[in-house]
């Protein structure tokens, strides 16, 4: 039986109005930071995160890390793709005296119970949740600067939150899309056999026009299953270029040249839409922030599931230098 492998950028979804709380005692400590449980209590269930605070309590910058698409948890992992990319990023930020908050989205990880049903979720729910996390950090009172750093779809969610009124001081897009979801999906599916490609394109166009698709072939249900279609339709309404054009705060666009999901063209499109942004291309970095010397999908996939492989050595240095300029 023929098997088809898709690395899809954005697909799985999640609600709103909350208060916050943090455990007084750290759940883990090391020579450079202490990690605390962060909780947002919402009508539909609690959302959980990790607040990593450098030792000495002198950190005055907090970076909120927004994970990418699908069931990606606060550490950058999925069930069968454990790479710890965002966990590593948080730890390296802590070593540079930068606090970070990373969190599980509704329906994912520790926040799984906050999702009633996948079919009820739209991207605006993620955006609203992110605004609540921004308020969580503001209420903490220790930080002079709050920065949103979104990875992949997380960058788009962060931009929408900023445009929607989230009061933050800077924004970092890491492998963020520069095109609408329908365009990216078509590009990712372009190399599939024509019968699969043609059927997928029809489904994408229907969803783009706001129509649900009942007849989804079995080989496309992982991407276009009925329960996720409302989320895809909501996502397709967002144009990253339109969003970034409205952002007035300092913005850094970071993109790896070994990314098989988001391309250098995406970074260029974002910068063209807002020329005041900074763009940094990291040689050898792939979509999960690891060093990779090939664009072969099979070899790339090995880095998606290697939690021991460090993240790209220039990623945190460049973010740290950008944050110093924001101070």
Q: What is the CATH number of the domain that holds 59?
A: 3.40.50.1820
Residues 202 and 288 in one domain: no
Residue 13 lies in a domain: no
Measure the CA–CA gap between 219 and 91, rounded to whole angstroms.
39
Residue 191 is part of which domain span? 184-230
Residues 202 and 153 in one domain: no
Residues 18-36 have pLDDT tens digits of 334 444 455 665 688 999 9
Residues 25 and 37 in one domain: yes
Residues 220-230 have pLDDT tens digits of 999 999 999 99
CA R_g for the chain: 19
pLDDT at residue 38 greater than cutoff 70: yes
Among residues 198, 214, 230, the one where a domain terminates is 230
Residues 281 and 163 in one domain: yes
Residues 266 and 291 in one domain: yes
Residue 14 lies in a domain: no
The predicted pLDDT at position 8 comes to: 41
Residues 135 and 251 in one domain: yes
The residue among 86, 130, 109 whose CA lies nearest residue 311 is: 86
Helix (H) or strand (E) holding 40: strand 33-42
pLDDT, average across residues 299-310 = 94
pLDDT at residue 118 greater than cutoff 70: yes
Measure the CA–CA gap between 262 and 283, rounded to whole angstroms.
14
Residue 53 lies in a domain: yes
Count of domains observed in the chain? 2
Measure the CA–CA gap between 315 and 13, rounded to whole angstroms.
27
Residue 218 lies in a domain: yes
- Cα-Cα-Cα-Cα dihedral sign, residues 264, 67, 118, 260: positive
The predicted pLDDT at position 28 comes to: 61
What average pLDDT does the structure give for the chain? Answer: 90
Residues 215 and 262 in one domain: no
Residues 102 and 224 in one domain: no
Residue 5 lies in a domain: no
Residues 263 and 297 in one domain: yes
Token pair listed for 89: 């990023």
Residues 127 and 214 in one domain: no
The predicted pLDDT at position 44 comes to: 87
The predicted pLDDT at position 116 comes to: 82
pLDDT, average across residues 71-88 = 94
Residue 172 lies in a domain: yes
pLDDT, average across residues 292-304 = 93
Residue 304 lies in a domain: yes
Among residues 230, 249, 267, the one where a domain terminates is 230
Residues 215 and 248 in one domain: no
Residue 9 lies in a domain: no
Residues 147 and 74 in one domain: yes
Helix (H) or strand (E) holding 182: helix 181-189
Asked if residue 4 lies in contact with residue 10, where contact means CB atoms within 8 angstroms, the answer is no
């Amino acid at each position: 039986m023929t098997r088809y492998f898709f690395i899809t950028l954005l697909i799985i979804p999640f609600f709103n109005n909350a208060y916050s709380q943090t455990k007084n005692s750290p759940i883990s400590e090391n020579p450079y930071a202490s990690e605390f449980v962060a909780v947002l209590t919402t009508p539909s269930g609690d959302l959980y995160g990790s607040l990593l605070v450098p030792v000495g309590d002198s950190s005055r910058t907090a970076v909120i890390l927004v994970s990418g698409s699908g069931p990606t948890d606060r550490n950058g992992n999925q069930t069968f793709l454990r790479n710890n990319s965002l966990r590593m990023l948080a730890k390296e930020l802590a070593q540079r005296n930068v606090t970070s908050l990373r969190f599980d989205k509704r329906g994912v990880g520790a926040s799984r119970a906050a999702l009633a049903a996948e079919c009820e979720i739209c991207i605006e729910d993620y955006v609203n949740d992110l605004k609540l996390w921004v308020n969580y950090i503001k209420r903490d009172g220790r930080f002079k600067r709050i920065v949103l750093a979104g990875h992949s779809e997380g960058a788009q969610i962060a931009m929408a939150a900023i445009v929607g009124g989230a009061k933050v001081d800077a924004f970092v897009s890491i492998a963020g899309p520069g095109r609408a979801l329908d365009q990216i999906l078509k590009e990712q599916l372009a190399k599939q056999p024509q019968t699969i490609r043609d059927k997928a394109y029809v489904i994408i166009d229907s969803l783009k026009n706001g129509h649900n698709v009942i007849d989804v072939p079995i080989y496309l249900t992982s991407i276009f299953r009925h329960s996720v279609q409302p989320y895809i339709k909501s996502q397709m309404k967002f144009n990253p270029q339109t969003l970034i054009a409205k952002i007035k705060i300092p913005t850094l666009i970071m993109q790896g040249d070994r990314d098989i999901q988001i391309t250098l063209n995406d970074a260029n499109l974002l910068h063209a839409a807002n020329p005041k942004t900074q763009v940094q291309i990291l040689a050898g970095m792939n979509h999960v922030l690891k060093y990779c010397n090939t664009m072969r999908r099979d070899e790339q996939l090995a880095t998606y599931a290697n939690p021991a492989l460090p993240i790209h050595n220039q990623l945190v240095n460049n973010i740290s230098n950008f944050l110093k300029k924001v101070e």
